[in-house]
Amino acid sequence: METHEKADFASHYNLPTPAPESPSLVRKPYRFSTLCATVENPNSSHKDQHGSSSVPIYQTATFKGVGGEYDYSRSGNPTRTHLEHHIAKISSAQHAFAVSSGMAALDVITRILKPGCEVIAGDDIYGGTNRLLTYLRTHMNVTVHHVDTTKPFTISPVLSPGKTAMVLLETPTNPLLKIVDIAGISSMVKEKCPDAVIVVDNTMMSPYLQRPLEHGADIVYDSATKYLSGHHDLMAGVITCNRDDLAQQMAFTINAVGNALTPFDSFLLLRGTKTLAIRMDRQQSTSMLVAQMLQSLGFTVHYPGLSNHPGREIHDRIADGYGAVLSFETGDRELSERIVGATRLWGISVSFGCVNSLISMPCVMSHASIDPATRAERGLPEDLIRLCVGIEDPADLLDDLRHALLDAGAITMAANDFVRIPTMVNRAAEKLALGESRIERKKEDVDLEWFISAPGKVILFGEHAVVHGVTALAASVDLRCYGLTSPRSDNKISVHFTNINDFYCEWDIDSLPWDAVTPVLPGNVHPEGLDEKLLDAINERALPPASKMVPKSHPAALAFLYLYMTMAYGTRRPAFSFTARSTLPVGAGLGSSAAFSACIATAILLLNKRIRAPRPSPPNRPPTDTDPGHLHISHEGRCAIPQGTAEEINSWAYVSEKVLHGNPSGVDNSIVVYGGALSYTKPGFGKKSGMDRVSGFKSLKFLLVDSKIGRSTKQLVANVAQKKMEEPDAVNKMFDAIQSISDQARLALDDPEMSRDVLLATLSAYITENHSYLVRLGVSHETLETIREKCSVYNLSTKLTGAGGGGCSVTLIPDGFSETQLKALIDDLAAANFDPYVTSVGGSGLGILSPYGRAALNSGLPADGPITPPETPEEQGTEGELSAMSLRERFNSLKTEDLNQWAEERGEWMFV
């Protein structure tokens, strides 16, 4: 519509003209993808006279006239000016330069250096970068320090004020995808060497996902051949910065040496940047699928998008995505070569960032210029495969990669799924590391039953107050939870929780939601947070609604499946039945859930061979003329499980506790794994926090009484918090008194000079005093007071333990209290419908029945003879399970009061 037509149209329809005061919407800044697609004129003088929608190619070497903005394309060209203005806009930069390649960009930057100065660079850098730095070191008298820049503390020792001129960073690194803290390192370097220039190679991320100038970098460069172009049809490099002095130096160098980007390549690169965002969105979403598939097969995968990547937290702070490059290790260089050669859709090529997917082996391609010794020193695996993901359909890329792995012999099909085939190199290394003989390995491959036990816990002083920073004292109790695994041959797993209404459930292993799991591979640590995606998948696809399950069975089954699936990797998806029984009352505040967590964690770790049962010490050997003999001290199995194994078990028991309770303190699982007693102070209250061992409890006898009254721990804790808000002075005074009780009780227990009688009298007084404060806090219950009254008849001190509101009480039994009196008290409590348990505290922690006992090596054992644990015959039993002699059947049929003694008689136990 022409101008006069618009006027006639408005006049004819009498359209009102908005007044200046009319409200209007404020425009928001454009998002990144809009910035990419919108190329603006650098200034009014660059506006095309014909109104072209695409920047023209000024394919000319010279420009006519005198005094104009352009005279020679080496010094400047309108097409390149448009490109550089566009690159600066999307990079948060004041200045941008386009040159002939990424290495040309680095060459321009390093010409800032002078002879005698020093450069700090990473030890996992691009091969071309390493080549240029080597040249500077050998020909230009520039000192180059290669350090692990993923660990900032390695940089500080080589920083030299007045000498360190440049720190060269790359994140994620190529090809191991390590993460470097740009902001942290920039701040540290500037503080010690303010004149040093921070340079970042941002090629792996591009400005779309990471803009290092926003995090303290002085100069950023990209190989624009990669993501900025996106089509591998040009060679280019870009440099960005915000400092005028650096920009002037680099502009002079580019004009002097003549490596500025040509007009035609500037046009191509400008066109490529318009689709940067949409390309990278597709590429990195597919990369995550590829990384998850490879990890699920058991390969070691390097990709910052995986939850177990060691640098993910830092990467999330400085980047907006995870990129489209990943690498993985196979364990065998020849196998890697076969995999690379077997792909069809993945092109074998160096470089990355193209719309087409590429595969390569860095050590024989992009990083071949680094000598093998240096590669080994820097931890670059010779078998490493690098994948550069394009925009093809994700299903086609995954299918092609699977077929390449199959054709190369890296994986195979089993039970309608792909499973990894262990490489001969890995297997030989494992045997060498473990010192296994072939005979021993064959024996350990036989499916065993594993018998595990873990104690409960009791809080003796500091309940509720511990939430508010008061120290609590807790100890293990000799009431235990037992877990027994029995192998199956029908590709199923099952659980049987005898103390939860005899709950039983089984699952076909292949039907579990494996597509939702991100496995935590051996040697890695479970992330701080739970995998909510996996939890949701288990709840929706593997378990019925909680409302339709036996009370307390749903969280227990959920924790079991979560640990089983998270620990599974490669070919390891063991089929077995897990049975749990307990002499602990369930839900009474005595750590039954923590003991259960420790048992399932240990069982699954053993079955996945992530931990191993320690071998027994050499037996007694009498001296002879040629042999001095050997004396074996058993210590009754105490401290037989190594500290490292205990730490692994405890970390997974804590994960299970998170599934069960949401945000546990970690006290309960630590007590049941390590045993003994400890003091615990919650962090965040301005004093020393954490856990400390406490001695002296082991010789004390206690009576635990289960009131059998249910209660809501969360509500009781909330009630105390509310009371503190309403009566802060009174409640804080009680908390101070409870802190004094905990401190004095610990001093008494640690005092070797205190007599036995004085110790017992002191602890009795503290028990009575601590309970009185708990009553005033409102967390006792009439049933607990009834128990206290019955015990007070015998002059015994009693207090609630745990959350209160029901649950359990704990009573100290002095040395002089006769068995007759104790039996009478127990009868009185039982007659009142309470469940009493006589126990000691502070004993051993988690236990594993040794698989190396003599009984395990015998066949033809009597049905109820000692079993440590038995090797399982191959004949089929019922429900698709392998016959397990009689251990599981006997375990299920025993009376609860006989369980502890029967378990002790099975063989030699090993404890933490």
Residues noted as catalytic = 74, 126, 201, 226
Q: DSSP H helical segments within 258-387, as ranges?
A: 263-273, 276-296, 312-318, 333-342, 372-377
SS3 381: coil
Count CB atoms within 10 A of the CB of residue 69.
12
SS3 612: coil
187 contacts 168 by C-beta, under 8 angstroms:
no
Element (H, E) at 68: none
Element (H, E) at 239: strand 237-241
How many residues in the chain? 912
Name 691's Cβ contacts closer than 8 Å, sequence gap at least 6: 667, 670, 678, 679, 680
| Distance (Å, whole) CA 180 – CA 198 | 13
Question: 780 — alpha (psi -120 to 50), left (phi > 0) or beta?
Answer: beta
| Distance (Å, whole) CA 839 – CA 370 | 65
Residue 709 tokens read as 């009254």
Peptide bond into 172 cis (omega under 30): yes
Q: C-alpha angle 263/267/272, rounded to 5°?
A: 145
Residue 750 tokens read as 């640690």
Phi, psi dihedrals of residue 14, rounded to the nearest 5°: 55, 50
Nearest to 479, CA basis, from 256, 704, 709: 704
SS3 237: strand
CA-derived radius of gyration, the chain: 35
SS3 for 77-127 is CHHHHHHHHHHHHHCCCCEEEEECCHHHHHHHHHCCCCCCCEEEEECCCCH
